[in-house]
Structure 1
Amino acid sequence: MKPVFDPTQYKITSKANWNTVAHEYHYNWADQQVGPFKSTAEVVRLAKIKPDDKVLDVACGTGVVSKEISQFLGPQGLLVGIDLSRTALSIAKKSISFQNSNFVEMDAENIGFSFKFDKATCQYGLMFFPDSVKVLESIRNILNHNGMLAVAVHGLAEDVPYFSTIMKPILEHIPDIRPEGTPTVHRFGNPDSLRAELASGGFSDITVTKYDFVYKPGTFDEYWTDYMRSTANSIRSKIEGHGDAVMEKIKNDARNNASRYEKDDSIVFPWTVLVATGINQ
């Protein structure tokens, strides 16, 4: 029997994990705009930022979307980023020179501001919120009438093999690795599911655009090391706790899964991203 999902403990664990991996996530992935982070420019483009807009970047992380947004804002514009990770927020503050910007440690399920925003963005955060509808409703509450939300999420497991190549054998060999009901990276990878979620949060005029990117993690061993150190960091100790034999089985199965994406000993992963926009009417 799997352990019961505890949303509060999940947030505590997520916060601790992001404080640990934020630097590597930023400097090796997000800031380099490799693979899925080619979507950053698309999220901001679809948000149609105007110079005097007041913009909220939800789950802003290390600030890559915020930095892109700041390029479109003028002296009358405002940029606010919120996130649970202090380490990620510190990186965001250092990387953005826009004067009218502020970064705040805040839970996206309980957004609280005394003024309204014109636009809101959220890249690779929506699928990880325990109560995503509550987050969407919180965003709507601080958006002006006809304000716009733009969100990016990863595609389905078969369309984002970077995650599933290793996670599938982890789940096969350690089925109780995470509590039943834990949010997953592919949660809104189906366009219809993403569209329905924004509608449940009260948004209208919803559009979903699909992008197909490519990510090259190097050799299998390089990919394995990066994945275990970053993506699987929060569960790595649990995996290692099952012993070397189980770890070796997971690695061998993952190597076999990765072989279909190898070209000249280097892996080339396809990576589907969905970007949705919705209006607060």
Structure 2
Amino acid sequence: MAYDPTKYKQDSIDNWNSRARDYHDGWAGAGRGPFRSTKELVNAAGILESDFVLDVACGTGAVSREAFLRLGPSGMLVGIDFARGALKIAKENVQAGHFVEMDAENIGLRARFDRVLCQYALMFFPEPVRVLKELRLLLKEGGTIAVAVHGTAQGVPYFSTIMEPVLKCMPDIRPEGAPTVHRFGDPKDLENVLTAAGFAGVAVRKFVFDYEAGTFSEYWSDYMSTTAAAIRPKIEAGGLQIVAEIKKEAEEKAQCFVKNDGRIMFPWDVLVATATTTKS
């Protein structure tokens, strides 16, 4: 199956529109697991009260909300996202913010910003360097970009515990060349993509959070209905035997994270990078 960037993006929009509420209530809005990075990301950006702030791929507004708390009357917050279902929730959460339905790879803004924020989206952009170059042009001289991404497959076992058996049993389920959640999980890769876009002073910091996934049954159900929602029909189309094999191997892999009470506690690596515009 060939990777089609246009279809990939449209599928992503459809997926986010359908699951925005669950994503917000269960993850971003609740500040669970990796979303404890929201405050770290905003802190790293060094927002001042008078800043103009752009939240790229703002989703349901978790980062926007935290950033808005740092702004004074002369500051401004703009959030952009390609999923109107997510934007509706963002507008509810940050009523004084300005939210626009817009693709990060086709930004139509003319304003200049002091800070640009982007949480858990960079790795999914088909052309991340092009996006970052556009964002650099939107930043004022001396402006700061702050980006958060998930760590490697080893550092984020919530994803890999199930996804590795899926790929083992169904290697064609993901088109070759398609973006993955761990794309910039190596600090050097994250540094390199920011440098390639012309940013200077790149600094990457790793945080390790934890995430209680419940029993294996609860973890499996949550993963299949949220993280794997887009590919779940393909997994189930493989038949009961394939699903059983995936589930069995995933449960075995999860055993090393099971606590005395039978619940799974995953570590979760998050990278937060900051960089500044170069002088002309």
Normalising by the smaller structure, the TM-score range is over 0.9
- TM-score, normalised to structure 1, is 0.97
2:91 matches 1:102: no
Deviates more, 1:110-119 or 1:151-160: 110-119
Tell me the equivalent position of 2:202.
Answer: 206
Helix, strand or coil: the match of 1:253?
helix
- CA-atom RMSD, angstroms? 0.7
- Give the Cα–Cα distance (whole angstroms) in 1 for the partners of residues 53 and 153 of structure 2: 31
The correspondence for 2:264, drawn from 244, 262, 267, is: 267
Helix, strand or coil: the match of 1:148?
strand
- Give the Cα–Cα distance (whole angstroms) in 2 for the partners of residues 260 and 267 of structure 1: 9
**Unaligned 5+ runs, structure 2:** none
Q: How does 1:153-232 map to 2 (within 5 A)?
A: 153-232=149-228
- Give the Cα–Cα distance (whole angstroms) in 2 for the partners of residues 274 and 93 of structure 1: 27
Q: CA-to-partner distance for each residue in 1:157-192, whole Å, 9 max, x for gaps?
A: 001000000000000000000110010000000111
The correspondence for 1:127, drawn from 120, 123, 126, is: 123
Helix, strand or coil: the match of 2:145?
strand
2:14 matches 1:16: yes
Count of residues in correspondence between the two structures: 277
Tell me the equivalent position of 2:273.
Answer: 276
Tell me the equivalent position of 2:43.
Answer: 45
**Unaligned 5+ runs, structure 1:** none
Deviates more, 1:60-69 or 1:133-142: 133-142
Percent identity of equivalent pairs: 54
Q: CA-to-partner distance for each residue in 1:18-60, whole Å, 9 max, x for gaps?
A: 1111111100111111110010000000000111100000010
- TM-score, normalised to structure 2, is 0.98
- Give the Cα–Cα distance (whole angstroms) in 1 for the partners of residues 189 and 84 of structure 2: 31
Helix, strand or coil: the match of 1:175?
coil
- Give the Cα–Cα distance (whole angstroms) in 2 for the partners of residues 193 and 270 of structure 1: 21
- Give the Cα–Cα distance (whole angstroms) in 1 for the partners of residues 144 and 66 of structure 2: 17
2:143 matches 1:147: yes
Q: CA-to-partner distance for each residue in 1:70-121, whole Å, 9 max, x for gaps?
A: 0011111110001111110000000113x2x211111111112122111100
2:46 matches 1:58: no
The one-letter code sitting in structure 2 at the alignment partner of 1:240 is E
The one-letter code sitting in structure 2 at the alignment partner of 1:169 is P
The one-letter code sitting in structure 2 at the alignment partner of 1:27 is D
Tell me the equivalent position of 2:74.
Answer: 76
- Give the Cα–Cα distance (whole angstroms) in 2 for the partners of residues 247 and 203 of structure 1: 45
- Give the Cα–Cα distance (whole angstroms) in 2 for the partners of residues 112 and 208 of structure 1: 29
Helix, strand or coil: the match of 2:176?
coil
- Give the Cα–Cα distance (whole angstroms) in 2 for the partners of residues 12 and 140 of structure 1: 26
Cα drift, residue 138 of structure 1? 1.1
Runs of 4+ in 1 over 4 A off after TM superposition: none
Tell me the equivalent position of 1:238.
Answer: 234
The one-letter code sitting in structure 2 at the alignment partner of 1:273 is V
